[in-house]
Amino acid sequence: MLERLVAPSLLAADFSRLREEVQRVEQSGADWLHLDIMDGHFVPNISFGPAVVKAVRAHTRLPFDVQLMIGNPAEYIGAFVQAGADRITVHVETDGGSDRVRQLLREIRERGCKAGLALNPETPLEQVEPFLAEIDLLLVMTVHPGFGGQSFIPETVEKMEAAYVRRAACGLRFRIEIDGGITPETAAAGLLAGADVLVAGTWLFQSRDMAVAIRELRDLAGREAATVKG
Ligand code: DX5
């Protein structure tokens, strides 16, 4: 059974105090730091780039889980590796089709990082199936990417379940990460469906005590527990 992980999303942090916010995340017992890279093209918002990733890298030892929501990821993988990324996730909807996606995943691993593949709420699981043996993480977006503070899309739960069943059927070990509108209620649904990494922005950064909030997410029951309960 894969251990449950919690990754706060820096997009919801107070950008005027990034060092303190990153230290708060680490001191609160988070497992990873999730970094949303947006270019205003692939998604309708602009967040931050390699320079900010490098700047916060100096203030924490947390693994960096970098999600590239950009139109031309191939041109930036090197820069994010140098900035300190430990994991890099690209979107299957990225221009250039499956050969390009396969190349990106291979390059991420060749540069020593873990490779992730993300799919948007409207994208069927079939589109990522050809790559499941070449990834360390599958990111099932539970909101349309681009902004924090959105509501969780319940229809995405079915896709998590299908990914969980597919992973078991193929004897694979990629992690199943969910991201967008994560709160204890929506996380519970995701975990019971088979997710094992929870990305949360608003709910964690707006909590009075992030350590308590992280523990609350971590203590929720997972699919195995449900299965055991039968
Ligand atoms: C949205 C981002 C998410 C977002 C999560 O495109 O990928 O990581 O920051 O924030 P909440 O938890 O507020 O939905």
Please report, for the chain, the start and end positions of each structural domain, with discontinuous segments joined by +.
5-225
For position 77, what pLDDT does the model report? Answer: 98
Mean pLDDT of 9-32: 98
pLDDT value at 99 more than 90: no
For position 122, what pLDDT does the model report? Answer: 96
Q: What is the pTM of this model?
A: 0.96
Going by C-alpha positions, the residue among 151, 152, 178, 219 that lies closest to residue 7 is 178
CA distances from 224 to 68, 143, 170 (A): 31, 25, 18
Cα gap 74→159, rounded to integer Å: 27
Expressed in percent and rounded to 5, the helix, strand and coil fractions of the chain are: 45, 20, 35
pLDDT value at 4 more than 80: yes
C-alpha 142 chain-centroid distance: 11
Amino acid identity for residue 55 in this structure: A
CA of 222 to the centre of ligand 1 (A): 22
Query: Which of 14, 36, 39, 196 is flagged as catalytic?
Result: 36
Does the annotation mark 179 as catalytic?
Answer: yes
Higher pLDDT, 223 or 184: 184
Contact between 70 and 39 (Cβ < 8 Å): yes
Cα gap 180→137, rounded to integer Å: 16
Q: What angle do CA 101, 32, 207 make, to 5 degrees?
A: 120
- Percent of the chain exceeding pLDDT 70 equals 94
Cα gap 132→224, rounded to integer Å: 21
Looking from the CA of residue 180, the nearest atom of ligand 1 is 14
C-alpha 130 chain-centroid distance: 20
Mode of pairing for the β-strands spanning 175-179 and 137-141: parallel
For position 222, what pLDDT does the model report? Answer: 67
Is 201 annotated among the ligand-binding residues? yes
**Could you report the per-residue pLDDT of 155-198, keeping only the tens digit for each?**
999 999 999 999 999 999 999 999 999 999 999 999 999 999 99
Residues with CB under 6 A from ligand 1: 9, 11-12, 34, 36, 67, 143, 145-146, 148-150, 179-182, 199-203
Query: Which of 179, 196, 209, 219 is flagged as catalytic?
Result: 179
CA of 205 to the centre of ligand 1 (A): 11
Does the annotation mark 36 as catalytic?
Answer: yes
Contact between 177 and 140 (Cβ < 8 Å): yes
Is 144 annotated among the ligand-binding residues? no
Helix boundaries (H) for 84-209 = 97-110, 157-169, 184-193, 202-205
**Could you report the per-residue pLDDT of 108-164, keeping only the tens digit for each?**
999 999 999 999 999 999 999 999 999 999 999 999 999 999 999 999 999 999 999
Higher pLDDT, 118 or 230: 118
pLDDT value at 229 more than 80: no
For position 223, what pLDDT does the model report? Answer: 62
- Percent of the chain exceeding pLDDT 90 equals 90
For position 81, what pLDDT does the model report? Answer: 98
CATH number for region 5-225? 3.20.20.70
Is 71 annotated among the ligand-binding residues? no
Looking from the CA of residue 183, the nearest atom of ligand 1 is 12
**What does the mean pLDDT of the chain come to?**
94
**Could you report the per-residue pLDDT of 41-94, keeping only the tens digit for each?**
999 999 999 999 999 999 999 999 999 999 999 999 999 999 999 999 999 998
